Structure formats: structure tokens, C-alpha cells
Amino acid sequence: MQAESEKLLPLGDHWSRSEVDETAFRDARLGCRFGDLLRRLSDRMGGTIPLACQDWASTKAAYRFYSNPKVEEGDILAGHIEATKARYAASDGPILVLQDTTEFTYQRRNPHDIGFTKSVNSGRDKSGRLRHHAVCGIFMHSSLVVTDEGLPLGLAAVKFWNRDKFKGTAQLDIRKYLRFLELSNAK
């Protein structure tokens, strides 16, 4: 039995309701699953997926959601991006868009499943030759919208990539950021 402080709020009363656009998903069931999953994970911040989901069926459903090829990052972020635009439109004063690129690295038996971020020097072997190994992981470039007082309004854009997908591309597509600013300047 859950302690009183651990009881989940109904989705209708939860903060995540305004951050999820369930209609962005091609399948309505995926939108509902995402709303439920976000609520569960946020109510047990920092915990594992099994802890947040509390039972095997919900845990398995969460892992199926994450591995579903019909789920795309744009579907997941659509509601949050719209909520960010609304908070931007309601704000007064200067707004800053802070950008950062973060590297997430993982250890995997088959690094091709995730992709590579870089090749690093691993030292020298016994015969003196340089050894290199590829680092498995992904990059994330995000643009966080904040007030001049530092209050975060949300993400304006986020892009994920790895070296397998990124080869041959000169730079990130800045049009997404400009489109956000153009739409937001109409206030």
C-alpha cells in the first residue's frame, strides 16, 4: 500500500497535463500512455522506471513505449513546445534563449545500436602503436527560453543526433529556432 505522500494525482489535476499534446501521436493510445508515463516518472523523480511504474505490466508498457518506432521526439515534445510558446507570450520584458550541446555516453556491447559521439586515444599498445576506441552515445542540442530574471519558460527546440546520423551535415538546422522566435514575436 502506498504512503499518503506517494499517491499519484489524477492526470487531470497534474502539472503534466498542460505539457502533453496527446493528439500529436499517430496513435491516440500512445498519447495516453505518454501522459501516464510522464506523470508516473515525475511523481517519483530520480527513481527508476520500475519504481515509478510500480508493477510489471506498467513497467513493460513503459519500455514498449520507449522502443516503439511510431513514437518520435517531436510527438513527445509537441505539448511542451506549445506550452513554452504560451508562457513566452504571457511574459513581459526581455527573454533569453540559452543554447547548449550535451554529450550522453553509454557502455554497450553493441555500440552500433546507439551510435558514436567521437573517437578517442586509448593510449599505446605493447608495440607502441596508438589505440583508438569509439565512444558510444548521443548528442543533444537544446535551446532553453528564460526570463532575464532566470525563470525557465521551457524548451524552444531540442535536437538529438549521433555521428552515424550526423555525418555529412555541416551544422544544425537553425530554422527551427528562428521559426520559434518569429511565431513568438507576433505577440
Which long-range CB contacts under 8 A does 68-75 form with residues at least 24 apart? 68/30, 70/25, 70/26, 70/27, 70/30, 71/25, 71/30, 71/34, 73/158, 73/160, 74/24, 75/24, 75/25, 75/26, 75/30, 75/31, 75/34
CA dist 169 → 65, 119, 120, 159, 161 (Å): 30, 18, 21, 14, 11
Task: For cell 499517430, name the residue.
Answer: 26
What SS3 class is residue 130? strand
Q: What's the confidence (pLDDT) of residue 169?
A: 40
Same structural domain for residues 98 and 52? no
Same structural domain for residues 178 and 107? yes
Q: What is the mean pLDDT of the chain?
A: 80
Residue 74 in domain: no
Q: How far apart are the first and last CA of the chain?
A: 49
Predicted confidence (pLDDT) per residue in 136-155, tens digit: 888 889 999 999 999 999 99
Give residue 162's domain range. 89-184
Structurally, the chain folds into a number of domains equal to 2
Same structural domain for residues 176 and 115? yes
Residue 80 in domain: no
Residue 83 in domain: no
Predicted confidence (pLDDT) per residue in 3-31, tens digit: 444 454 454 577 888 888 888 998 989 99
Same structural domain for residues 96 and 144? yes
Same structural domain for residues 63 and 94? no
Global confidence as pTM: 0.69
Q: What is the CATH number of the domain that holds 14?
A: 1.10.246
Same structural domain for residues 110 and 143? yes
Predicted confidence (pLDDT) per residue in 55-101, tens digit: 999 999 999 999 999 998 889 999 999 999 999 999 998 999 999 99
Same structural domain for residues 178 and 120? yes
Same structural domain for residues 63 and 14? yes
Residue 173 in domain: yes
What SS3 class is residue 40? helix
Residue 82 in domain: no
Q: What's the confidence (pLDDT) of residue 30?
A: 93
Same structural domain for residues 110 and 53? no
Q: Which amino acid is at 89?
A: A
Same structural domain for residues 101 and 179? yes
Residue 76 in domain: no
Same structural domain for residues 60 and 99? no
Same structural domain for residues 111 and 56? no
Residue 131 in domain: yes
Residue 75 in domain: no
Cβ neighbors of 164 (< 8 A, separation 6 or more) are 112, 115, 116
